Amino acid sequence: MIKACITTVNWQKGRLRILDQTLLPNQVRFISCPRVNQVHEAIRNLRVRGAPAIGVCAGWGVYLGMKHSQAKNREAFLKELTRVTSYLATSRPTAVNLFWALRRMKNAGGYERKTPFDVKKAKKILYEEARRIELEDKELCRRIGRFGQKLLRSGDTVLTHCNAGSLATAGTGTALSLIYEAKRKGKRLHVIADETRPLLQGARLTAWELMQNKIPVTLICDSMAGALMAQGKINKIVVGADRIAANGDTANKIGTYSVAVLAKHHNIPFFVAAPVSTFDFSTSDGSHIPIEERHADEIRNGFGNWTAPKKVPVHNPAFDVTPHELITAIVTDRGVFYPPFQQSLQALKQ
């Protein structure tokens, strides 16, 4: 199987090692995070991004926040644990994997409440849980790829939006894992990557990652996708997700909704790929998904160049919601699910 061309996040010598994605594709540099505040900063400022990768970092961030705890009893330890998880929860609002991982770590920290408290054992349990989250993510990526590659045929030209590959996970990705597994099966594919304004994750990350893995890729401006669909030059679309509501409505990088509408008009299959941890069954539909609003200068002064009047008002949501009616299928680590999602996704609750 194709391996991730570079490791995005991993635990190394008592620290969390993160590839600083704000510098790609011009510079490959890792940052070392021995403290929880550094993990928070990395998530907040997009040094690490992609819902699964954020979840992995959150797990390790909790451990780092509790690593030096001097708590003498369970109550003090859990109070400190609550403070750390609450702090990390403020880093970004939309990617549900962040909150999923924080809940797992908090639950792990409240182990064996009827047994005598041992702070060393509690820390060890947190370490083991963070490690499990990382290893599970790698396996989930493999499973998504194995299930999803069946949706792709040799000769397909596949459009993707934003980055949902190895740079967004601890493994080979979500949407891009389908591409990697299809190639491993001998299928010939060509990928069209939207540049993904305003932070250019498609241009800076997806195009770079696919080239590293020797996958044929062509970069286009976001506004070109519809024209290519009309010309018959795109026949499949695969994207990732940051949160999926109970009815299948999906939050992903801003611009995904536009792609889905165009796909529906041109009768092109539109697939979403995500692990089960990205589903938020407590949210009934996409209207209740919190959407992060980013700083105006990401648009006015992108990458240090003023491309708009300095005081022009800006609306800069990081995500949009694609209604479930526009989605052909959702690929998960537990299989491929088809409409009606309100019924089919019930299996994931079991």
Annotated catalytic sites, by residue?
242
Q: Which of 58, 66, 68, 70 is nearest to 83 (CA)?
A: 66
Say which residue the tokens 């030209």 belong to: 157
Could you give the C-alpha distances from 178 to 185, 247, 261, in angstroms and in order? 11, 23, 22
| Tokens, residue 231 | 């010309």
Torsion sign, CA atoms 143, 148, 152, 158 = negative
Task: Count CB atoms within 10 A of the CB of residue 310.
Answer: 9
Say which residue the tokens 């493999």 belong to: 142
Give the integer Cα–Cα distance in Å for 121 and 106: 15
Task: Give the full edge-to-edge strand order of the sheet including 15-19.
Answer: 9-12, 15-19, 30-33
| Tokens, residue 9 | 């996040």
List, as one string, the DSSP characters of 80-126.
Answer: HHHHHHHHHTTS-SS-HHHHHHHHHHHHHHT--TTSPP-HHHHHHHH
Give the integer Cα–Cα distance in Å for 84 and 300: 34
Say which residue the tokens 């990928």 belong to: 191
Could you give the C-alpha distances from 258 to 223, 255, 323, in angstroms and in order? 10, 5, 11
